């Protein structure tokens, strides 16, 4: 059974600081997704990482994937208040192209002025 | 990207009743899924909605409790049957296409069972 662990679950940052969210998963998978969820809203797709060594960047967020270590990171650079949200990683279950996702518990990020 | 709508957006229901949630996509998609997000929790996959055949349920979810229909490539429904307060959650549909490797989520249906 695929298990996905995120840490930290809660992150309080000051504006301008850098931090990293970690996502570990238990079985082989080549596709990993990062989503953002604002309170009361649905999920917004941030990144899809499709292969080992994949790195994607959008604004102050950068995601990477190491399939051998079964680890993805979401790095936040010079945080701003608008980044406050819950961030989920999700791993596609292996065993064919079934597209089923197993989600981590999410990281609640609060960026303080 | 696909535009997904869900109806209703929220509802308050009494214990023992059923609610049917609709998911409509603006384009044909290969895969449709239903997820549940309990209060303050992450998302859990309920089932894959298969077009023209019975849905494929994940462990812990059964058809009698969560019957699903998918009559075509743009529409699906999820019914939450014989509701109890434990069913209070946000229910989200998601879609993807073959080889697309993007999954898009609908706005969700916030269900409260009293």
pLDDT digits (tens, 9 = 90+) for B16-67: 999 999 999 999 888 899 999 999 899 999 999 988 888 999 999 999 999 9
* Residue A113 exposure: Cα atoms within 13 Å on the Cβ side: 0
Closest CA to B4 of B75, B102, B97, B90: B75
pLDDT of residue B88: 97
pLDDT of residue A45: 92
pLDDT of residue B9: 96
- Look at A101 and B48 and tell me if their CB atoms are within 8 Å: no
Lowest mean pLDDT among A91-95, B6-10, B68-72: A91-95
Residue A32 tokens, joined: 């990993």
- B102 Cβ under 8 Å from any chain A Cβ: yes
CB atoms within 10 A of CB B53: 8
- Look at A98 and B48 and tell me if their CB atoms are within 8 Å: yes
Question: Mean of the per-residue pLDDT values for chain A?
Answer: 91
| Residue A34: pLDDT over 90 | yes
pLDDT of residue B99: 61
pLDDT, one tens digit per residue, over A43-86 is: 999 999 988 888 999 999 999 999 899 999 999 999 999 999 99
| Residue A14: pLDDT over 60 | yes
- Look at B107 and A50 and tell me if their CB atoms are within 8 Å: no
Taking the C-alpha atoms of residue A109 and residue A84, their distance in angstroms, rounded to an integer, is: 5
pLDDT of residue B29: 87
B65 contacts B81 by C-beta, under 8 angstroms: yes
Taking the C-alpha atoms of residue B26 and residue B28, their distance in angstroms, rounded to an integer, is: 7
pLDDT of residue A97: 54
The label of the residue with tokens 């959008």 reads A58
Closest CA to A7 of A19, A23, A18: A23
Burial class (CB in 10 A: 0-12, 13-18, 19+), B92: buried
Report residue A16's pLDDT band, with 50, 70 and 90 as the boundaries.
very high
Question: Mean of the per-residue pLDDT values for chain B?
Answer: 93
Residue B62 tokens, joined: 């059964």
- Look at B45 and A35 and tell me if their CB atoms are within 8 Å: no
- Look at B105 and A97 and tell me if their CB atoms are within 8 Å: no
Mean pLDDT of B2-26: 96
Give strand pairing partners of B105.
B94
Closest partner residue to A99 among B1, B43, B96, by Cβ? B96
Q: Judging by DSSP bridges, how do beta strands B109-113 and B10-13 pair with one another?
A: parallel
pLDDT of residue B58: 93
A 37-56 residues inside an 8 A Cβ radius of B: 41-43, 45, 48, 50
- B43 Cβ under 8 Å from any chain A Cβ: yes
């Amino acid at each position: 059974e695929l298990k996905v662990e995120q840490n930290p679950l809660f992150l309080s940052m000051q504006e301008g600081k850098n931090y990293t969210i970690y996502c570990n998963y238990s079985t082989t998978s080549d596709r990993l997704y990062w989503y953002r969820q604002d309170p009361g809203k649905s999920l917004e797709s941030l990144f899809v990482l499709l292969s080992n060594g994949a790195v994607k960047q959008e604004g102050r967020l950068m995601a990477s994937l190491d399939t051998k270590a079964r680890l993805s990171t979401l790095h936040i650079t010079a945080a701003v208040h608008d980044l406050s949200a819950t961030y989920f990683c999700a791993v596609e279950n292996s065993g064919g192209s079934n597209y089923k996702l197993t989600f981590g518990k999410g990281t609640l990020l609060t960026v303080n002025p | 990207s696909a535009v997904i709508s869900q109806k209703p957006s929220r509802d308050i229901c009494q214990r023992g009743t059923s609610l049917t949630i609709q998911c409509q996509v603006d384009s044909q998609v290969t895969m449709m899924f239903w997820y549940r997000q309990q209060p303050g929790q992450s998302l859990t996959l309920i089932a894959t909605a298969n077009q023209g055949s019975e849905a494929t349920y994940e462990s812990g979810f059964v058809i009698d409790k969560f019957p699903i229909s998918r009559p075509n490539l743009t529409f699906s429904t999820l019914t939450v049957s014989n509701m109890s307060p434990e069913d209070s959650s946000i229910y989200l549909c998601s879609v993807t296409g073959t080889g697309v490797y993007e999954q898009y989520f609908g706005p969700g249906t916030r269900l409260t069972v009293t």
